Amino acid sequence: MQVAVLFSGGKDSSLAGLMLSHLLDVELITVSFGVCDAWVHARDSARALGMSHRVVNLPSDVVEEAAQMCLEDGHPSRAIQHIHVRSIELLSSLGVTRIADGTRRDDRVPKLTISEARSLEDRLGIQYMCPLWGIGSSTINELARTLFEFEQGESPQVRKADYEVELRAMVEEMGGPSAVGRIFPQHHVQSHVIGMRKGGIE
């Protein structure tokens, strides 16, 4: 049984992929909208983890729609959720039937409620998995420190391939540099996995 894990190269999606790899045949999937080449950072993380990785190119209008939402709302929450749901829908249209991600119990966005996840499964005929849903941030951070070597810092400075990277670029293209500073939160810490730690969990 194969599962496609939406993968940014960060510790959360890396942990989700690693957990599922003990049960299923995991393929790490990074979606790209052609705005920039951030996907290379996810590819490097996947290689460091020794896991299969593929880049799936999706229509740029998805991130264009999301950028317009950012400009209308003044914050990125609805836009990031939109990209997440559309990514799942578009992967499903390509024949992917099992889709997982690294969303956590304590996340705000992107995150589907239980009813939204059930609705998505019924509508698309997929199996949707979130292995980190029942785990708190402190436990996830401890697991990540134990299992991975990773870089961590404020979002614009970290090498990563999450939805925000291309969304920021599109917001800047549509609204200018000042729009990026106004819309995206300051001091948003994110991560980029660069390897596995020796020893692992004891």
Does the reported pTM lie above 0.85?
yes
Residue 35 lies in a domain: yes
Say whether pLDDT at 200 is over 50: yes
Domain that holds residue 87: 2-196
Tokens 């730690």 belong to 197
Report pLDDT for 199: 66
pLDDT band at 202 (very low <50, low <70, confident <90, very high): very low
Provide the domain count of the chain: 1
**Secondary structure of residue 34 in the 3-state scheme:** coil
DSSP string, 37-99: -THHHHHHHHHHHT--EEEEE--THHHHHHHHHHHHHSSSHHHHHHHHHHHHHHHHHTT--EE
Average pLDDT of the residues in 18-36: 97
pLDDT band at 13 (very low <50, low <70, confident <90, very high): very high
Residue 21 lies in a domain: yes
Residue 50 lies in a domain: yes
Whether the Cβ atoms of residue 132 and residue 102 lie closer than 8 Å to each other: yes
Residue 94 lies in a domain: yes
Residue 62 lies in a domain: yes
CATH code: domain of residue 71: 3.40.50.620
Residue 60 lies in a domain: yes
Residue 201 lies in a domain: no
- CA 79 to the chain's CA centroid: 14
Residue 202 lies in a domain: no
